[in-house]
Amino acid sequence: MAVKAAAGRGAGWRPVAILLLAVAVALVATLTAAWSSSRNASAAPGAGSKIVAVGAESEYADVISQVGGQYVAVSALMSNPNTDPHTFEASIGVAREVGRAQLVVQNGLGYDSFMDSVESATPNSSRTVLNVQRLLHLPDSTPNPHLWYDPARMPQVADAIAGSLSAIQPSHAAYFAARAAAFKSGLASLTTAIARFKAAYPDVPVATTEPVADYLLTALGADNRTPWTFQADIMNGVDPSPQSLAAQRALFTEHKVRVFLYNQQVTDALTQSFITLAKQNHIPVVGVYETMPTPGYDYQTWMRTEVQALHQAVAAHTSTEHL
């Protein structure tokens, strides 16, 4: 059984709640049966085994891998940078991965709400679930769920992962703490790149389709002139109002912005029309990603590359639609 869980989009996310409600009974019944069979068929990991960990999104799986090193076996559920993560399928295979995991890291804010259903269907008293929204004490009303695009928050995530891994394997606590420190040190060049961009291009005006990279744009000091109503509508799969559409078009036709950023993984006719409009008005275009591009990237290099792409757009009028 495969259920299209269509990962959520925050406080006003696409109407996946209706879908999840409709399939919840079948999902729980089917996955619970599969998990019971799987759990009875294999022994629990021993003390000397690698910690089995799951990241609901590839970016969190990468942080687990960086912190856990040789003592973790990590898998990412949403990891394909060439597909819309909101059409992710929660399958029996996903249930088995989550069911046997000792550590699960998920975003929260409705972005990956299918995880709650899968976890309920695969009870495991030894599993630790780290919800980043709860870790950061963010209310459910937080409008932008793309928390990993705020580099300033990621050290707290790394420390929490180190703490969770240490609770599972206390004998390796010093190792996990050292690797969490290395992860944070690895953010230094990103922090420097952000500071340099902010100093060189204060309040640079940009337009977006949806708030995927908004936290990063805020850190960079950019001025996102796309109306929030437009961003939220695109994020939630709602047709923007004529007023929002007119305001967005004017940003290009009246040359009010210097860069256009769009969600490279979620494009439709409307998004494509704005890409075309930006190019017609000689405004460089930058594609941003919801899941980490592969291969060749970790979290730090991914974010640095996004910053570099924006810098190239502003400084050299160069578009970067694919990483």
Q: What is the pLDDT along the chain (323 residues), one digit of tens a residue?
A: 343 444 544 444 443 433 443 344 344 445 444 444 444 433 344 446 999 999 999 999 999 999 999 999 999 998 876 665 666 676 788 999 999 999 999 999 999 999 999 999 999 999 999 999 999 999 999 999 999 999 999 999 999 999 999 999 999 999 999 999 999 999 999 999 999 999 999 999 999 999 999 999 999 999 999 999 999 999 999 999 999 999 999 999 999 999 999 999 988 999 999 999 999 999 999 999 999 987 889 999 999 999 999 999 999 999 999 99
* pLDDT for residue 85: 61
How many angstroms separate the Cα of 195 from the Cα of each of 26, 200, 208, 253, 306?
Answer: 50, 9, 21, 30, 14
Sequence length of the chain is: 323
User: What is the distance between the alpha carbons of residues 76 and 60, in angstroms, rounded to a whole number?
Assistant: 8
Q: What angle do CA 305, 209, 228 make, to 5 degrees?
A: 115
User: What is the distance between the alpha carbons of residues 263 and 290, in angstroms, rounded to a whole number?
Assistant: 7
- The answer to whether the CB of 252 falls within 8 A of the CB of 209 is no
Q: Which class for 121: exposed (0-12), middle (13-18), buried (19 or more C-beta within 10 A)?
A: buried
Query: What is the CA 290 to chain-centroid distance, rounded?
Result: 5
* pLDDT for residue 82: 64
Three-state secondary structure call for residue 151: helix
For β-strands 2-4 and 89-91, DSSP reports them as antiparallel
